[in-house]
Structure 1
Amino acid sequence: MDLETLIATVREQMPERRWVHTQGVMGTAVILARRFGADPAKAELAAILHDVAKFWKVDKMEAAIREEGLFTDVLNYDKELWHAHAGAYISRRDYGVEDDEVLGAIRYHTSGREGMTLLEKVVWLADLIEPGRQFPGVDDIRSVAENDLDEALVAGFDTTLGFLMEKKKKIYPLTVLARNDLLAGIKNTN
């Protein structure tokens, strides 16, 4: 499927405000990819598809996750995580994306994971700091992202974890592992 057709198809599956968000993630992902040495075309593709299943009914997301059968543990956690796993699966199944790096960036754009690839980091951060996002501390994270991808990610994970704890939500273990792994990497380079 060519990029123009893919964009049109994905856009049809979400409300206009989510499409505006997706466009923001696309632009931010390309900027971050160029800044930190990831492939801009892969970053754009992952960004286009990152929320493709976001507005599916919960039972449809669950069915996709169960059909894939690889990451069913996510079903024990907040439904906000499900669209990433369902989206990665259908990106391969329905949109012909075969690149495991792109699929990983889609799959882990909400949770992160230990040993994140450069592309996963770029898409995760782009989703958090795209221009339409407004939350306390986002401008600080954007500022850090000008120079240090991993430090910006840690700041982003701190914000995310703080939000989840404040809302008394269960925390998906991969999110904690992602943050700890990033901290260990930063400590080893200092």
Structure 2
Amino acid sequence: MKREQLIAAVKEQMPERRWLHTLGVMETSVILANRFGGDPVKADLAAILHDYCKYWPVQEQAKIIRENDLPQDLLAFDKELWHSHAGAYIAKAQFGIEDEEILDAIRYHTSGREQMTLLDKIVCLADYMEPGRDFPAVGLIRELAEHSLEKALIAGFDSTIGFLLSKGKRIYPLTILTRNDLIHQINKE
């Protein structure tokens, strides 16, 4: 499927505000890919599809997770995590995306994972800091992203974890493991 067709398919799945967010993630992913030596074409494609299932009914997202051998533990945590794994599944099944690096960047853009690839980091960070984002830590995240994907991502995960703690919500264990792994990567440098 051509890029323009993917864009049209994604745009019709979401409200205008979320589409503007997706455009921001696309733009920011390409900027970050160019800054840190990533593949801007893959970054753009993963960014286009990263929120494809975001506004699907949660029952549909849960069904995709349950019926397609996706991580079942997701279902015990916040529904905001579900669209990433459902979206990666749909990107492959419906749009024929076979590149596992792109699929993983979609799959892990909300939770992260240990040993994130460069593309994983780019798309996850772009989702945190695209120009339309406005939350207390976003300025710091953008500042850190000038020089370090890892430090910017840690600030992003810190913000997410702090928000979840303030709301009394459970934290997906993979997010904690991701943060710890990023700190380990920085300490090895």
> Same-fold call, TM > 0.5?
yes
Q: How does 1:153-164 map to 2 (within 5 A)?
A: 153-164=153-164
Superposed, which structure 2 residues align to 1:113-128 within 5 Å? Answer: 113-128=113-128
Shift of 1:155: 0.9
Which residue of 2 is the match for residue 80 of structure 1?
80
Q: Aligned residue for 1:137? A: 137
Q: Which residue of 1 aligns with 2:55?
A: 55
The one-letter amino acid of 1:37's match is G
Name the SS of the counterpart of 2:170 in structure 1.
coil
Where do 4+ consecutive residues of structure 1 move more than 3 Å? none
2:7: which partner in 1? 7
Secondary structure of the residue aligned to 1:183 is: helix
Task: Provide structure 2 residue ranges, at least 5 long, that are not aligned to the other structure.
Answer: none
The TM-score normalised by the length of structure 2 is 0.98
Per-residue deviation at 1:63? Answer: 1.0
Task: Give the % identical residues.
Answer: 62
Partner Cα distance (1:70, 1:20) in 2 = 29
What residue identity is the alignment partner of 2:87? G
- Which residue of structure 2 lines up, in the alignment, with residue 25 of structure 1? 25
Give the match for residue 185 of structure 1. Answer: 185
Residue type at the aligned position of 1:30: V
The offset of 1:67, in angstroms, is 2.2
Q: Residue type matched to 1:59 in 2?
A: Q
Aligned length: 189
One-letter amino acid of the counterpart of residue 73, structure 1: D
User: What is the root-mean-square deviation of aligned Cα atoms in Å?
Assistant: 0.7
The 2-side partners of 1:33 and 1:174 are apart by 24
| Structure 1 SS opposite 2:26 | helix
Deviations 1:63-104 (A, max 9, x none): 111222131211111001000010000000001100000000
Residue identity matched to 1:148: S
Q: Residue 84 of structure 1: SS of its match in structure 2?
A: helix
Report the more deviating stretch, 165-174 or 63-72.
63-72
Report the secondary structure of 1:32's partner residue. Answer: helix
| Partner Cα distance (1:108, 1:183) in 2 | 18
Q: Which residue of 2 aligns with 1:35?
A: 35
- Indicate conservation of the 8 Å contact 2:70/2:85, yes or no: no
Q: Distance in 2 between matches of 1:72 and 1:98?
A: 23
Query: Letter of the aligned partner of 2:20 in structure 1?
Result: V
Unaligned runs of 5+ in 1: none
- 1:4-57, CA deviations, whole angstroms, 9 ceiling, x for partnerless residues? 011001100100000000000000000001101111000000100000000000
AA matched with 1:32: L
